[in-house]
Chain A
């Protein structure tokens, strides 16, 4: 692992509650065009392409094959797909660039949660024999985690409400966010979580371009160098985990070098206010760190893209000179089962 690789461009949709008028391909196409335009690259210039999406959200098998048509895979391209959040597609692309087989990579992901009840759809991720038949939905599981934190004296309902309020206030300056400004904390969805503690349901897509070494400097004025990236998974059964802690996040952060020096910014894939509490502690983020300046997943949560967007947002702040060292986090599975951490840096100014 000795090749310098950077995020050189990022684009995303305006995330919306529904996108009935667009197919997934139509939702994705403008984002692909935008991210390529930022670098001046064409599809044929890209060394490796990797995407992340879910057939279960799309409601059909092989849904990603249609998105490939949007990429314009002709002449044929070197390409792969993970049935995971796009953050892991970025990881696969980063590995590919590390082998030296490619110098540039296009990474994209997308998800439309609006056609179904995403809260119920996500129950299909659970152990199919012992848990899924009970249909415990994603909010109910997050509520168990939130209650465990409250019982442990780690947070309380007003503190959780403040996380949601801060996120949506920050999202005021993010034109892509779905929930912006002052949003009522609302009624309980599942105690102790109120609507304000939960992510909006929405559709969206995101894309990133990676480049290695000098190629990155050619394509971007201030590349966001990936200093480290790692991901770890935990046991699936929430009954065997301490839901108030995230050892997989801590280990991934250690492996990514996050604790070697402080970061100034962190984009955390905390879909629920309570998960930010867990992640802040696992990542040892103090009050000096700017957490989720984009508004985070509490302001826009297109499932399968929300993790990649965290990396994109962190990189974009480095591109703009608003951060010198940023941490980006992505998660998958119930109650933060699987976590990815990337550390990004800009060249000294």
Chain B
């Protein structure tokens, strides 16, 4: 039994900002869904099922909000699912939706992820004290800073590499009208002079807190044939998970991430990711995660990832552009961040990425991770349908 090929024929997102006080949660998600439908030139009636994702319910203070959002997303009378896999959730949600098409359970599926972080304080929402358990310290940065430090020590990377990533991604964001941070006066010196938050992570090397939603329309071969604009075709997708903390865990380059990438490459027939993949939209919430993930995903040998960053390979006009959209460093509605990565990969191979389009992008990887570097979701999309 072969799987049905899965195509992305619609992408929509909101203009991500610190606080969307002009819309309700329902209004926010409907805006992104509506734009994805418009891109695909479909209506609500064309959608067979809805799969939504977001990070912890505490961020908005609504328990299982898909129940309340059924009407806004046109799901009444349809199947509706809600995925939650921590920070990787936007990616996982897209993969659950894709499997509905791949299994031929449904023909056309709307998938959407969102976060309206202005409804609460995400940093403290992530820092609830639990007896007898390792606290996450003050937000995610407190958890990840020691792992960045470990990477720096292991690789011998110069202290400035992180600031190069931030400077690049914030400049990429200037070309993306949907990005949250548009810092027109950004300079490398400003990034390097910004306050230290969680040593070695500076303020300008940290993701913002955003309100935003991202939606995609996934469909089968027949749906793609009717689509008005080019489709992005899924060539591989996988999820992997490992425990949060345990003796022997490699917090710098988790095995779950390596396994997940290997599974995606196997499905997509990628022998050498550095050669066979044109661009990567990866989940980099703190600048140093670019070189770390470059190694974890097999684009560089261990300890060598920072050299790609330092030599400009990951710039928008480089040989392997990374985070063309501006990335999580410029836009972070947590629950949506994974899906924005997946959607950016789709936009690139569809040739619809606008000013941040990479010329000739034929195969692009979308990547998401979450929890304590333990949940991974990735997909590889191409401009052509899969051959097998």
Contact = CB atoms under 8 A, between A and B. Distances in A.
A124 B56 contact: no
Contacts of B138: none
B239 interface: yes
B128 A332 contact: no
Interface in B276-312: none
B139 to A, nearest CB: 11
B259 A83 contact: no
A125 B68 contact: yes
Contact of B67 (A2, A72, A338): A338
A88 B372 CA distance: 25
A39 to B, nearest CB: 21
Interface in A284-337: 332-334, 337
Interface stretch (B81-89, B174-182, B184-192, B340-348): B81-89
B85 A80 contact: yes
A71 B60 CA distance: 29
A69 B76 contact: no
A79 B1 contact: no
A92 interface: yes
A92 B96 contact: yes
A281 interface: no
B254 to A, nearest CB: 8
A220 B64 CA distance: 35
Which of A74, A83, A91, A332 gathers the greatest number of chain B CB atoms within 10 Å? A83
B372 A1 contact: no
A234 B78 CA distance: 8
Interface stretch (B8-16, B97-105, B205-213, B358-366): B97-105
Contacts of A334: 67
B384 to A, nearest CB: 21
Given A64-B84, A76-B259, A78-B238, A125 B102 contact: no
B24 interface: yes
A88 B81 contact: yes
B99 A125 contact: no
A81 B259 contact: no
Interface in A15-61: 49, 54-56, 59-61
A233 B78 contact: yes
A92 B84 CA distance: 12
Contact of A126 (B58, B68, B243, B260): B68
B56 to A, nearest CB: 4
Nearest to B70: A233
A52 to B, nearest CB: 10
Given A78-B238, A80-B92, A95 B58 contact: no
B67 A56 contact: no
Given A69-B244, A128-B68, A248-B77, A81 B83 contact: yes
A232 B259 contact: no
A1 B103 contact: yes
A344 interface: no
B63 A124 contact: yes
Given A65-B244, A82-B84, A100-B1, A60 B130 contact: yes
A308 B86 CA distance: 22
A127 B61 CA distance: 11
B374 interface: yes
Interface string B146-187: 000000000000000000000000000000000000000000
B63 A76 contact: no
Given A3-B1, A83-B64, A78 B239 contact: yes
Contact of B68 (A64, A122, A236): A236
A76 B256 contact: yes
Interface string B116-137: 0000000001101010010000
Contact of A73 (B61, B84, B243): B243
A79 B240 contact: yes
Contacts of A99: 3, 99, 102-103
Contacts of B239: 78-80
Given A235-B76, A333-B67, A83 B83 contact: yes
A251 interface: yes
Interface in A231-250: 231-237, 247-248
A328 to B, nearest CB: 16
A234 B85 contact: no
A83 B57 contact: yes
B241 A68 contact: yes
Contacts of B62: 124-125, 128, 132
Contacts of A78: 238-241, 263
Contacts of B372: 65
B318 interface: no
Given A62-B56, A230-B79, A337-B70, 10 more contacts: A56-B58, A61-B56, A68-B244, A82-B83, A82-B84, A99-B103, A100-B2, A124-B63, A233-B66, A233-B77
Interface of A: 1-3, 49, 54-56, 59-62, 64-66, 68-69, 72-84, 88, 91-92, 95-96, 98-101, 121-122, 124-129, 132, 230-237, 247-248, 251, 332-334, 337-338
Q: Which 10 pairs, one residue from A and one from B, show the smallest C-beta to C-beta distance?
A: A76-B256, A61-B56, A98-B103, A79-B241, A124-B63, A83-B84, A56-B63, A76-B242, A333-B67, A233-B80
